[in-house]
Structure formats: structure tokens, C-alpha cells
Chains A and B, each alone.
Chain A
């Protein structure tokens, strides 16, 4: 029986000719990643276990993005702990305030991840890099500490779900709507322990930003990883971002999939996930009358240049609703600069928005836009659990940048067609 793309990558990294779903393997790692809230726990465990060196200082990335610029004294202490560790082991890829970006936007931009690789990160959205045709998955801090020490991690080879994409995206519809639509179908545990393999003619119609967004939210369906095949879009992206050599793995034509979903991209409409689960989706035209207090456009899911461009087009020459605080967070310094060069920042500020330095900030209820009791936010982020963005009695509605920007103007959940 043939192997899926994910299985092939794992087999190769485990030094095996083939692997089967359910098999336990030990794979060597191409990159390990942690941030300012997960690295401290890793560092504590690393030191407690008595490890005296890291496996490869060029294959560790520490990105200070969650509570940075330091949100309070404790956060500052955590960053200091990371900085000390990075200096001690001369970590090549340490990104601190001023240089950093949101990790899952930063690593592809800097060419630190490439097709065919195995990447683990102490952050659940590490699955993002599957967009580039890598096997990439989130782990906890102890797994990450073990990875930094040994350069290896154990995995249970996953079975797969196939998402056969066809057609092309309609106007105002982007990768975010696709993945919300998918999670609405599978549920938040529909892909539990499985890889999500995206295939079909529709793949070519998706930009790399769309693919990064889709893979980013594989975890919200419970998926181990979400992976795209390598094509010309991938090659072009890699060429422009680090231009490293890479290996391409293709699924066998007789690979086994637990379930196959056929998705016509043209049928997908702007989608919103209502509180308090990402699977609680509906088309924006069915949202009803939901007044909102805040909009966030940013995060590792939708903080990229194309997301900023969509928002800018909608805000151009307009002003946001007086009752809605709108916070825009370009995901990396480079994206921020391009927004300045293209005039987007002027548009955002003239429209009455807040523009922030890259940070995860409000996405996880950290800082830079926390919600009070009873408040509602439309966000281009990735989770809307209870208390996610602030008070336990606040609400988060997940959407793409077009719906988020339109809602900021309307003062309630709205799609671009209606404003």
C-alpha cells in the first residue's frame, strides 16, 4: 500500500523505507521552535535534565512574540530567561522585539522552513509550515526541550484525511473562509490524530498566503498537521525567501485515506465562526444582527501582506464605526514596512484604526486589545474559546480580513457585499 505525503516525509526522516499509520517512529528534526511563553518551560526542563548542549544551534528558533513588547514584569522576566539561554548556546535564530515577527509568519519569510522538512514547535499553530510541503506539528515544551537536546522526536505515524480541492475562490473569499468551512464540516476533533492532506486542481488557485492560513488552522480540526503538495507556487515562494535546497515528497497514487472530502472552492462564501468553537460556522449573510465592540486584523493566521491589502481596500476613503475599536497588526516587520510603502498604514490610521508592532497580543488574550465583560470582537485570529481574548463573558467571532474590515465599518458582523 502506498504512503501519503506526510507518511513519506516521516519515513525518510526516520531512516525507514516505508511506514504505516499507527507505527511509532523516531524522526530527526530540521527545525525546532519556541516562543516567549513556551520556551521558559522548555528551558526549565532542559536545565533540570542536565543537558549541557543543544543538538544544533542553527536548527533552533526562539521567537519572542506572544507577550512582546514585554507586557508586564513577569513577561519581561520570561523573555530575559529566553535571551540568556539563546546567548549561552549561541542560538542563530533568536528574534527579540524590534526584529521579531509572529513566529508562523516569520519563519517562512526568513526561509527557516522548507519543503520536505520535519519541524516541531512549542506552539500549536506550528502546523502552518505544512503549506510549504513540510511535515510540521505543534508539541509541548518538554517535547521541545528533548528536541533541542537530541535533534529528534517520536511520532505516531498518522492516518490521513484528503481534502480534494477544485474550482477557484470567489471575490472576497480567501484561505480563511476555506479552512473555517472545512472545520465546520469536520468539527473540532474531526481530524484528531490525523494528517490533513490538501490535493486537487484547486491547490494551484490558492496563493501561499492562503495555504499558510489553511495549514495554520489544521489544529483547530484536531489535526496533527495540514500539508499541501509542492508546486510552482511553492517553488516561487522558496526562491524569494531564502532560496534553499529542498526535497519534494509526493503522495503515492494508492495511498490510503480514512475519508475524502471534495471541496469546490467556488462554492465557499465569506464565513464566520461564532462563539465558542471554531466549528460553529455559518455564512456571513446568515450572521443576523450582531453588534460588535472590537475588530482585530492580524495574527499568524491572517497577518500577512495579502490580508493587509484586503483590509486596506475596504477601509480606503472610509471611516470605521464609532463604536468599534479596530486593531491592525502586520505579522512581521517586513510586512509592516511594505504596508507603509504601499500607503496601507495611512489608510488604516485615517480610517480610525490602531496599528501595532508585530505581536500575538490580543489573539490569546495577552495584551494590545483585551475585551471587557460582554464585549464582542470579530477577529482574523484562530480560536474563539471562552475567555480567549479577555473576560470570560466576552465573545470572539472568527473571520477572514474582508469580513473583519467590513464589520469594523458596519459596527456589526457584515460581509463586504453589504457595506
Chain B
């Protein structure tokens, strides 16, 4: 599976409060959550994001609350993939569980810049920066996690057993 899009770049410790502030947690509607995605770190994100775009962060992306609304907002806003140096563990689980592709790659997270056009091949884990002509190898998923993603998320994989 391949995705391609423009990069929205952020730093370390992008927490779930800035991804989806609590004042919007009185809904579980995906479209509504998407309309406030990244609001407290990047007011213009919802105006600028296009389907297929990619978020690139640094260390500890998605830290803080366990709110699944965070990866939901990101996925529903059209983002096709999140690349970070490391992910906070609850966000990591949640993203996989809802089918938001995420990849860990320190070098990619450092070198890719805002606005770059990037494509990602999930089968090989290869990240290609089309703007700067660079490629990176992300850590592959553990087999168990691959299975969940291939089956379309956690509950789908349970139901099929």
C-alpha cells in the first residue's frame, strides 16, 4: 500500500491536548473532530490539509491523554500517515487500532521539511522524500501488529477469529 502527500511538520512532544483540545471531546463524531484537528498547535492546519497529506513529528508524538479522538481527528482530516521519531505508547496502539498508518524513523523525522512531497510504501517501510530526493527505511511493524492492520483494525481482527 502506498500513500503520497504534502508534509505538515511539527516538533517533539506533540501532545493529544493540542491535537484535539478537551473542549471538543463532547462529541465522538469523526467529521466534527476533524474540523478541530491540531487546533492548539496549528490553527491553520484544517484550512491547509488535503487528503493524502502526511504529518511528521519528532519524539514522543501523541503523548498525554489516551483519547482515541486524537488519531480519529487526524485520520478523519484526510491525513494518510504519521511519521515520527518515536510515538507515545497509547497513541501508537490507538492509531493501529483505528487503521491510521504510523511509522517510526528518526532520520526521516529530522530531515523531512514542512511542505515537502513525500510518499510511503507500507509493505517495504520505505519513505521517499520526492522534493529532496531522499529515501529512508522505517522500522517495520511487528508481525502481530501487521496482522491487525491487514485485517482492518483491532475489532475487525477479533471478529474474524
| Chain A interfacial positions (CB closer than 8 Å to B) | 24, 37-38, 40-41, 44-46, 48-50, 66-67, 71-72, 74-75, 78, 122-124, 126, 138-143, 145-146, 149-150, 154, 188-189, 192-193, 219, 222, 224, 277, 364-366, 383, 385-388, 392
Question: In the bound complex, do residue B153 and residue A142 qualify as a contact, i.e. CB atoms below 8 Å apart?
Answer: yes
B99's nearest neighbour on chain A, judged by CB, is A142
A73's nearest neighbour on chain B, judged by CB, is B26
Once bound together, how far apart are the Cα atoms of A387 and B153, in whole Å?
31
Once bound together, how far apart are the Cα atoms of A159 and B75, in whole Å?
31
A-B pairs with the 10 shortest C-beta distances? A140-B94, A74-B26, A140-B68, A142-B97, A49-B155, A189-B60, A124-B66, A364-B22, A387-B40, A141-B68
Question: In the bound complex, do residue B88 and residue A145 qualify as a contact, i.e. CB atoms below 8 Å apart?
Answer: no
Known: A74-B27, A75-B26, A385-B18. 14 other contacts (CB 8 A): A37-B25, A37-B67, A37-B69, A41-B72, A122-B66, A124-B66, A139-B93, A140-B93, A143-B93, A364-B65, A365-B17, A365-B23, A366-B25, A383-B17
Question: In the bound complex, do residue A366 and residue B88 qualify as a contact, i.e. CB atoms below 8 Å apart?
Answer: no
Chain A neighbourhood of B3, CB < 8 A: none
- Say if the beta carbon of B21 comes within 8 Å of chain A: yes
Chain A neighbourhood of B25, CB < 8 A: 37, 66-67, 364, 366
Give the one of A146, A385, A392 with max B CB within 10 A.
A385
Once bound together, how far apart are the Cα atoms of A37 and B20, in whole Å?
13
CB distance from B105 to the nearest CB of A (A): 16
Chain A neighbourhood of B158, CB < 8 A: 49, 146, 149-150
Count CB-based A-B contacts (< 8 Å): 130
Q: Pull 28 A–B residue pairs with CB atoms less than 8 Å apart, ordered by A.
A: A37-B22, A41-B68, A44-B28, A45-B155, A48-B155, A67-B25, A74-B26, A123-B65, A123-B66, A124-B64, A141-B68, A142-B154, A143-B94, A188-B13, A188-B60, A189-B63, A189-B86, A189-B88, A192-B60, A192-B88, A193-B89, A219-B90, A364-B17, A364-B22, A365-B17, A366-B23, A383-B64, A387-B21
- Give the contact-size bracket for chain B: 35 or more
| Chain B interfacial positions (CB closer than 8 Å to A) | 13, 15, 17-18, 21-23, 25-28, 40-41, 59-60, 63-69, 71-72, 86, 88-90, 93-94, 97-98, 142, 144, 153-156, 158-159
Once bound together, how far apart are the Cα atoms of A24 and B144, in whole Å?
8
A155's nearest neighbour on chain B, judged by CB, is B93
Chain A neighbourhood of B69, CB < 8 A: 37, 41
Question: In the bound complex, do residue A188 and residue B66 qualify as a contact, i.e. CB atoms below 8 Å apart?
Answer: no
Chain A neighbourhood of B93, CB < 8 A: 139-140, 143
CB distance from B126 to the nearest CB of A (A): 25
B155's nearest neighbour on chain A, judged by CB, is A49
Chain A at the B interface: SS class: loop
Chain A neighbourhood of B89, CB < 8 A: 192-193, 222, 224
Chain B neighbourhood of A75, CB < 8 A: 26
Chain A neighbourhood of B98, CB < 8 A: 142
B145's nearest neighbour on chain A, judged by CB, is A24
B33's nearest neighbour on chain A, judged by CB, is A41
Once bound together, how far apart are the Cα atoms of A189 and B64, in whole Å?
10
Chain A neighbourhood of B90, CB < 8 A: 124, 138-140, 219
CB distance from B38 to the nearest CB of A (A): 12
Chain A neighbourhood of B154, CB < 8 A: 142-143, 146
Once bound together, how far apart are the Cα atoms of A188 and B67, in whole Å?
18
Question: In the bound complex, do residue B18 and residue A143 qualify as a contact, i.e. CB atoms below 8 Å apart?
Answer: no
B159 touches which of A50, A71, A366 (Cβ 8 Å)? A50
